[in-house]
């Protein structure tokens, strides 16, 4: 079940909201837990058993770690077993097929019979809830959080449906008190509803149409793909993945606020970054900080030799790529970003500081978009061919597939809105208007205040109406991060 599906918007969500606000406070967590498990089991009920196993394992290890917290060596061994158990489940469902496929390539070359393995389906969101569960046990070991005594409350933390299948990755310490005691006020509901509507609009009105064009262009054979089309395809995909994922994060943050949870931000206009280092401070913030705190720093971080620092960066980004999917393309995508982070740290970052600011933006966007080709393509050969076409201005086609074929007036409008919306320009303009509305008693600003108070809710209503209309008239409604 996805947030942008009719069954979620018109059946599941209304029932859960009505039930949540009618039920007594002491039962709200149990109600949310049941709703979350139902939400997760909607598509494939058997996979809820994996989540319940994860909950049970991490409840047990969390309690065990806290019990032996003063015996450092024993506690460390318990944490190591917990990490192995969590990553073992993740590896089985997400990476076993990939591992066997690559082993088969090697053993076939030496004349051995390949290993046969039935395809293993990937449980939705397993990477996200596994990382949340792991951070809980590690934080208990680090004395940053106390072990949760109530298994139902821990189950709610791991399975809470707003951020269950696509994040943001929530640290236990950030919501531990909210799980125990929270109050939802009208301002929270107002903020949550607005945030959800904006996220829905991002997903349905921008990500979906951009994704449809990207899919069509990436599906073209090499002979049908021109340089212009290749650039259009990767620009559309760059907008799709940003609005798809940030839109889902907005919806998750909005839903969380309605239920009294305050999740941290997950995106901060990453496409205005002036370096790859800055990009990763703005893109998928919950994941990048997770890797920083639980992988990079334990490896030694930057408080070690230069060589080890560069090694640590590459290790983290190889793992980051592999976290996204069991494919060499994802590993190369992670290594690609890691490489540019290393060269920026070696000295290229100092060069960037001295160049004209628009060049910094162009550099970062170029590297990010090239990286997205590896992320989007199915194979390494497809990625190389696509990138080669992008940088071959003499590659043109004479068939019907050209830039003008895809750029209708509607698509052009969405492209413009998508590009502007990926910058803080609208936020800055809105903030200035709101400051005028609040701070001035001049007659012209009183008029602005009147119209702003009238138009502001109308804007959200229109976004919601157009989003629902788009869902009703289109069957194209994928969600990229479901496969992670």
Residues noted as catalytic: 324
Please list, in sequence order, all residues whose beta carbon lies within 8 angstroms of the beta carbon of residue 4, skipping any fewer than 6 positions away. 200, 203, 204, 251, 467, 471, 477, 479
Q: How long, in residues, is the chain?
A: 484
**Which are the contacts of 180, defined by CB distance < 8 A and separation ≥ 6?**
153
Closest CA to 157 of 141, 171, 168: 171
**What are the tokens at 91?**
């590896």
Q: Which uninterrupted H or E stretch holds 354?
A: helix 349-354
| Per-residue tokens: 219 | 């599906």
Q: 315 is written with which tokens?
A: 């290790």
- For residue 124, CA distances in Å to 26, 132, 286, 342 come to 30, 14, 18, 33
Per-residue exposure over 134-153, b if at least 16 CB sit within 10 Å of its own CB, e if not: bbbbbbbbeeebebbeeeeb
- CB of 122 closer than 8 Å to CB of 46: no
Token duo for residue 80: 């190591």
Q: What are phi and psi of 273, to 5 degrees?
A: -65, 150
CA atoms within a 13 Å half-sphere pointing along the CA-CB vector of 395: 19
Please report the DSSP string for 420-435 in residue order.
Answer: HHTSTHHHHHHHHHHH
What contacts 482, CB < 8 A, 6 or more positions away?
2, 124, 125, 165, 166
Contact by Cβ (8 Å): 97, 120: yes
Report the SS3 class of residue 48.
helix
């Amino acid at each position: 079940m996805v947030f942008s599906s009719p069954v979620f918007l018109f059946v599941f969500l209304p029932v859960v909201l009505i039930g949540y606000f009618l039920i007594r406070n002491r039962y709200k967590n149990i109600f949310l837990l049941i709703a979350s498990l139902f939400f997760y089991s909607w598509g494939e009920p058997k996979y809820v058993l994996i989540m319940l196993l994860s909950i049970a394992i991490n409840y047990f290890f969390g309690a065990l770690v806290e019990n032996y917290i003063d015996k450092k060596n024993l506690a460390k061994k318990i944490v190591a077993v917990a990490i192995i158990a969590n990553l073992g489940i993740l590896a089985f469902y997400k990476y076993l097929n990939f591992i066997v496929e690559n082993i088969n390539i090697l053993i076939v070359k030496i004349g051995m019979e390949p290993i046969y393995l039935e395809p293993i389906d990937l449980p939705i969101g397993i990477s996200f809830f596994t990382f949340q569960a792991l951070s809980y046990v590690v934080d208990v070991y680090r004395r940053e959080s106390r072990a949760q005594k109530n298994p139902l409350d821990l189950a709610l933390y791991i399975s809470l449906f707003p951020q269950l299948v696509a994040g943001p990755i929530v640290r236990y310490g950030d919501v531990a008190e909210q799980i125990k005691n929270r109050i939802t006020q009208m301002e929270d509901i107002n903020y949550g509803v607005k945030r959800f509507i904006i996220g829905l609009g991002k997903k349905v009105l921008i990500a979906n149409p951009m994704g449809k064009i990207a899919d069509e262009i990436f599906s073209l054979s090499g002979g049908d793909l021109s340089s212009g089309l290749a650039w259009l395809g990767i620009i559309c995909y760059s907008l799709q993945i940003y609005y798809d994922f940030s839109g889902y994060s907005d919806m998750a943050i909005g839903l969380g606020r309605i239920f009294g949870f305050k999740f941290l931000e997950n995106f901060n206009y990453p496409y205005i970054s002036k370096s790859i280092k800055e990009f990763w401070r703005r893109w998928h913030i919950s994941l990048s900080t997770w890797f920083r705190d639980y992988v990079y720093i334990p490896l030694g971080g930057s408080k070690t030799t230069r060589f080890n620092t560069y090694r640590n960066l590459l290790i983290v980004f190889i793992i980051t790529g592999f976290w996204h999917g069991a494919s060499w393309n994802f590993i190369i995508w992670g290594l690609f970003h890691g490489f540019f982070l290393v060269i920026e740290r070696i000295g290229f970052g100092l060069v960037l500081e001295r160049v004209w600011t628009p060049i910094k933006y162009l550099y970062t966007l170029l590297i990010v978009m090239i990286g997205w080709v590896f992320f989007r393509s199915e194979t390494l050969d497809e990625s190389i061919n696509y990138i080669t076409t992008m940088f071959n201005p003499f590659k043109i086609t004479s068939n019907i597939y050209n830039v003008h074929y895809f750029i209708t007036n509607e698509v052009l409008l969405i492209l413009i809105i998508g590009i502007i919306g990926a910058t803080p320009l609208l936020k800055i303009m809105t903030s200035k208007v709101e400051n005028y509305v609040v701070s001035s008693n001049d007659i012209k600003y009183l008029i602005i205040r009147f119209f702003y108070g009238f138009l502001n809710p109308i804007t959200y209503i229109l976004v919601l109406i157009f989003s629902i209309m788009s869902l009703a008239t289109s069957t194209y409604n994928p969600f990229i991060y479901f496969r992670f």
